[in-house]
Structure 1
Amino acid sequence: MRVPNVIGDWQECDGAHAGLRVRVHGVERAEPPRGREEAAEGLVYFRFRVTVENRAGTVRGVHLEDGQIDVRTGGDGEGAVLDWRNSRFVEGFDLYPLRRATAVVYAAAAESSLGRLDVQVQPRTDDDWGERYLWAGAVGAAAGGPGPGGDASGERLVRQVSRYLRREAEQGPG
């Protein structure tokens, strides 16, 4: 079983992308850009960051753009509305060793679905596509309080996912 990352965790890439690390972080509510308020009406606008770090000894041409990032929200895994026009991607950036490049992605979804957020990223370097990696969390969960749909005791979804992943790892395959 492939285990998802918790939002904020680094994922070490392997295969042709060995030496790269990727993480999804900085998930927070955001205001729609001017002129987009009407398009986001009835939805909650949010943003997150996808960072790639080069820990290899060579320069890598990194791409994080349209079609490499997918966002699903809520219990049914409905796709969030991605605001490609206002997002800032990494397009063919020469990433030197020990450097990072970050894409900022804007999206919108129904308020009721923000308690569960899944972000899938498939990095690409030069012309080599990497594996898809998944991060799980909630909008606002990393900000210190419960995300939407969180319980009254203040336990965050991130902690719940972490405990689940630890239990699965302790039990091993079976």
Structure 2
Amino acid sequence: MPSPELALLEARLAQASSVEEIARAIIGVGRRMIGCDGITFVINENGFCHYLDEDAISPLWKGNKYPAAHCISGWVMSNRRATMIPNIFQDERIPHDVYRRTFVKSLEMVPVGDRGAAAIGSYWAEFHDPTEHESTTLHILARAAAAALERLESVT
């Protein structure tokens, strides 16, 4: 039996009529389900990572666009591979100068679907190695978002 959060997510995704509504639905339950300090939904827009929505202990990325070649979400979307980074300052794919101004110390980012069109990232204010539960939950969210995006494309 799905958790109440997953049931709520499924209902919201079934009614979503835009990418923004899908992002809002994922973000709306994702942070609670994972227990992270922040979560974001990113879409690929012509070589830029557009941070479409976010729920975090303090605002960081929502509405911003960064060149895909210079951010971890761009790497995840172009490689279509999830990544866990327990210490962002030890990973060369992270623009350290940007992250130094934030609370983020650790993150996990997963692609949504297999086309490189979107990604979901969770992040923590302390150095943290995502647990199996946290990682599995993030992947479940990504699969749900991918299915909702496919459904949306099929009706438009």
TM bucket by the smaller chain? 0.3 to 0.5
- Tell me the TM-score normalised to structure 2 length: 0.33
- Tell me the TM-score normalised to structure 1 length: 0.31
More strand by share: 1
More helix by share: 2
